[in-house]
Structures are given as structure tokens and as C-alpha cells.
Amino acid sequence: MLVLFLLPLLPLIASLPSQQPFSINTSHEGRINPLKHLSAISPFFIPTEKPTPLPEQCELDRVSLLIRHSSIMGNDEEYEETMKPFIEKIYNLDKSKLPKNGEWKFLKDWKSPINEDTLEVVSPQGKKDAKFLGKYIRKTYSPLFPSRKKTTTKKDKNKTPYKIWTASSTRDIDTAKSYIKGGFPSHQSGPDGEGDGEVVQLIQVPNKAKDWDRSLTPHKACDTFDKKPSLEPANKWLAVYAPKVIDRLRGVIPEVANELVDQDILAMQMLCGYETIATGSSQFCHLFTDEEWLDVEYYFDVRFHYMMGYGSHLSPYLGMPWVKTAKHLLEGKDTEGSDGGKGHKSTDDGTLGTFKKGPKLPEPKLPPNATHTQLLHPSFTHRESPAFVAVFLNLFNSSSHTHPSSETPPLDHRVDDRAWRTSHLVSFLGHVALERYHCKGKKHGDAGDYVRAVVNGRVEKMSGCEDGLQQGCKWETFDKWVDERAERWSDWESVCEK
């Protein structure tokens, strides 16, 4: 079924701003596009040319979708610790030290478009990208959407609205609204993308609320989750590759190179991403070799292995709630209007520090893990969640990989054939789908119900749940397998309490 939508989809992809400029071969050194190797700073792109089609004679029934928010103008931590010191260094540098010619010349009057005021804010391009994603998801899963028709009859009006769930940070809400504007006609999306409240409704899930089964931002409800320790191994690797870059630069911009520290190399590589997000292009993207881009990509993969991948014992615990919720939703019961229950006690938005509080959205009536009548369940969240979910589902961890994701990444050299590629998993708008489908036909003698995991359009094997066709899994197997894993990683309190 997916195949049907490819033809009309392709021209759209080619004209997408995020796609086209980035695929032009402008890099001096060679072949790779750095913007596709910046992990969580990679602007939205669709990594595979086309979504993996379902096996023949199969049809989709239901889909649960977990989507990271769209591109932001900068991340607090990356700005404070890495980019800001570099930016200030350049501003304060004796201008006579800066080259007058060549590709580094721009530094003389360079002004950073990244600053404190707009950190964590979705960029204008990020909004366009999220809108594009809404159209793309509508095309991909069209039969699972509510009808575009205007509601007229009284019966229609009493129907339960179709819900989109979002974590409560502003960047998640803004992304969800743009997605809604892309995926629904304007009479359903509402003027600002919050939904018309009748057919479409955007629901805000409080970030730290433990009684929502923690399904969208589990790490914010887990006190022992800590991003900092992962910096240590990542910086060990930085100390291997960055000095080599500085050495190379001594031959190009000797007086600047003498002032640079390892973090400055990382800063410039981050700025390639954030500056492109802010202004559409960045000189920093032209300053490094392919090898150096692959080195920074490895830096992020090391960091996220320990922060939210297989290298953290917390990851499967934190991935469990969403998968359990998704399984429950995929099970589905086609009853109408069961959502009208009693008001659910909502908890204060527990966003921290500089995360701005989200705008007012309708009060939720039931948590995401209640029984809902719709067929496609999208939820918007942060980079951590798709990674946790990948671990819980045992993706990228097959023993047939040379370097499965659960293997410890060496810190003295880069492993190129590793399965853990966070540029593919947690780029802006990176998404994980669980697709339930049924197949008929004697051809493969496998009529029945199946489920498969799809990451940014590409099917990925759930190792241990792989008895279906083409990397899928039988629904029954999945059902038991998820329950077993949920049992194994259920003791949330004991691992999350300080």
C-alpha cells in the first residue's frame, strides 16, 4: 500500500527546502553532506529514498508514531558549554590574526545567529519542515486519517476528536501545530494548528507527570537520569580527533589555530548545523574534511550511546512506557466515542529552567494509554525518547551486525561499520513508527497479523521478534515479547529514585 504513494511524493521531496540545498555537492573536499552527519543537530531529512513498502498482499491497520520535535535555533547545553565560548573567542580575537583571503575570511565580520534569546525555539525552517512532515505522513498513512470532509450532521459532531499528543515544552507544541497544519485541511487544523477541537485536537501531556505512564518524556520523570556523565567518554574521543584538526589548521590559519582548543572544533561543527537551521547556510560546513565530519558524527554516537542508548542501563526502562502504550493502541478496539470519560487530574507543567511554558491547550480527558478510537497515534517529544524506544525494541542490535549497537564504542578510533547511527535516529523530526498490518494470500502461507518497526521510513529488525516476513514480527509474538521485556524492565522506582 505504501508504494502507491511514492510517485506523488517524490516531487515534493525534491522541492523541500531542507532536501534540496543540502544535497547539492558544495563541499570542497568531497562527497558527504555534513548536515546528514550531525546526529541530533541534523536538520530534517528523509534518509531513505522511499519508505520500505509493506510485503505484498498486506494492508496497514494501525500505526503508533513517536516524533522528535523540529529544528531549533540552538540547544541550551551545547550553546553554554561549547558554542558560546568559541563565539566569544572569535569576537575578542585580534582581528589582524584572521585571514584576509580564502574560506576562513568570513570570520572577520562573522556574527553568530545563535544567541541566548532564541535557544530552544523552533526555527522558521523547522516549522516548514514539520508542516512537510504532516503532508508526508498524511500521504504515507492516508487511510488511517479522519476524513477531510467538513462535518455537517449532528452525529458527526458528537464523534470523538482525532488526537495528536505532544510533550509540554514549547518546541514540541510548535512542532505538533505545524504538523497539524500540514496534515489536515484548514477547517480541521484550526488557525494556529491546535485543531478545531471537533475533528482534530492537540493534547498536551505534562512533561513530568508520573501518572501519565510517563510515555512521552520519561527521562524528565526519572530522577537518576543524567546527561552529564556521557560527556566524559565523548570528550575522550574528541581529544583523539580534534587535535588532528587543529594540527591541520596550523597550516591554513596558524594564528587562529594556536588559540583553538578541542571544544572549538566541536563548536564550529555544531555551528554548521545551527547556522544552517537559522539562516539557510553556513560557511562552517565547508571548512572540514569528510573524515572530520565522520569523526564528529562518531562523537555524537558515543555520547548518545551512553546517554540514551544501549550504554545506559536506564534506556530500556525509559523506552518501555511508550512501547507499552503503543502496543495497547495498536491492539485497538473500534468502539466509538469511548473517550468522553471523566476529567483527568492534570499536573502542572514541570518544565525546567529556560524551557518556556507552553501555550494553553484543551484539558486532556484521558491519558495516552487509555483506549482511543483512532487508527494513527502521533506523539511529539524530545531526542531521548526515540533512542530509548530503539533500545527497548532491540533495534540495530542484531548479532549479524559487525558492530551491534549494544557493543561498547572504542574511544581511540572510529568504528565505521557500527549499527548505532544517531543521525538516522534522532535528527530533527526523527521518528519511530510501530506499524500493525495484516496479510492475506496463500503465496507465503502467512496470512495473519503482523507488526514492524520503522525508523524514518526504513524497516528495522526487532531482534528477538522477527518471525514475520521481511523483518516484521507476528502480532502474537510481539504481544508476548513486549510483555516479557516490560516485565524485565518494569522496576522504574528502584532505578529512577535517587
Ligand X SMILES: *[C@@H]1O[C@H](CO)[C@@H](O)[C@H](O)[C@H]1NC(C)=O
Enumerate binding residues for ligand X (CB under 6 A). 25, 30-31, 211, 213, 316, 328, 367, 369, 391, 394, 397, 399, 404, 406
Q: Is 204 helix (H, G, I), strand (E, B) or coil?
A: strand
Work out how close the CB of 27 gets to ligand X at its nearest, in angstroms, rounded to a whole number: 7
Work out how close the CB of 456 gets to ligand X at its nearest, in angstroms, rounded to a whole number: 21
- Specify whether the CB–CB gap between 471 and 461 falls below 8 A: yes
* Unique residue bearing C-alpha cell 516485565: 487
Looking at the Cβ atoms of 240 and 391, the one nearer to ligand X is 391
CA dist 318 and 383 (Å) reads: 13
Helix axes 290-308, 231-250, angle to 10 degrees: 170
Work out how close the CB of 392 gets to ligand X at its nearest, in angstroms, rounded to a whole number: 7
Helices (H) and strands (E) in the chain, counts: 17, 8
Work out how close the CB of 328 gets to ligand X at its nearest, in angstroms, rounded to a whole number: 5
CA dist 489 and 21 (Å) reads: 43
Q: Which three cell numbers stand for residue 177?
A: 501545530
Looking at the Cβ atoms of 71 and 168, the one nearer to ligand X is 168
Looking at the Cβ atoms of 96 and 399, the one nearer to ligand X is 399
* Unique residue bearing C-alpha cell 590574526: 97
Looking at the Cβ atoms of 259 and 291, the one nearer to ligand X is 291
Looking at the Cβ atoms of 112 and 405, the one nearer to ligand X is 405
Helix (H) / strand (E) containing 438 = strand 431-439
Looking at the Cβ atoms of 131 and 418, the one nearer to ligand X is 418
Looking at the Cβ atoms of 185 and 404, the one nearer to ligand X is 404
Looking at the Cβ atoms of 257 and 370, the one nearer to ligand X is 370
Work out how close the CB of 364 gets to ligand X at its nearest, in angstroms, rounded to a whole number: 13
Work out how close the CB of 316 gets to ligand X at its nearest, in angstroms, rounded to a whole number: 5
Work out how close the CB of 152 gets to ligand X at its nearest, in angstroms, rounded to a whole number: 34
Work out how close the CB of 395 gets to ligand X at its nearest, in angstroms, rounded to a whole number: 9
Strand partners, 204: 166
- How many angstroms separate the first and last alpha carbons of the chain? 48
Work out how close the CB of 329 gets to ligand X at its nearest, in angstroms, rounded to a whole number: 9
Residue 23 φ/ψ, nearest 5 degrees: -95, -5
- Specify whether the CB–CB gap between 314 and 225 falls below 8 A: yes
Residue 58 φ/ψ, nearest 5 degrees: -120, 155
Quickly count: other Cβ atoms within 10 Å of residue 360's Cβ.
8
Looking at the Cβ atoms of 30 and 124, the one nearer to ligand X is 30
Work out how close the CB of 203 gets to ligand X at its nearest, in angstroms, rounded to a whole number: 15
- Specify whether the CB–CB gap between 60 and 437 falls below 8 A: yes
Work out how close the CB of 333 gets to ligand X at its nearest, in angstroms, rounded to a whole number: 11
- Specify whether the CB–CB gap between 187 and 150 falls below 8 A: yes
Looking at the Cβ atoms of 27 and 52, the one nearer to ligand X is 27
How long is the chain?
498
Work out how close the CB of 80 gets to ligand X at its nearest, in angstroms, rounded to a whole number: 32
Cα–Cα distances in angstroms (integers) from residue 365 to residues 130, 163, 244, in the given order: 26, 11, 56
Looking at the Cβ atoms of 172 and 213, the one nearer to ligand X is 213
CA dihedral 88, 27, 39, 411 (to 10 degrees): -80
Looking at the Cβ atoms of 317 and 428, the one nearer to ligand X is 317
Q: With 0-12 CB in 10 A as exposed, 13-18 as middle and 19+ as buried, what is 67?
A: buried
Among 444, 328, 453, smallest CA distance to 386 is for 453
Looking at the Cβ atoms of 391 and 439, the one nearer to ligand X is 391
Which residues have a Cβ under 8 Å from the Cβ of 15 and sit 6 or more positions away?
none
Q: Which three cell numbers stand for residue 180?
A: 497539524
Q: With 0-12 CB in 10 A as exposed, 13-18 as middle and 19+ as buried, what is 186?
A: exposed
Which residues have a Cβ under 8 Å from the Cβ of 342 and sit 6 or more positions away?
365
Work out how close the CB of 322 gets to ligand X at its nearest, in angstroms, rounded to a whole number: 12
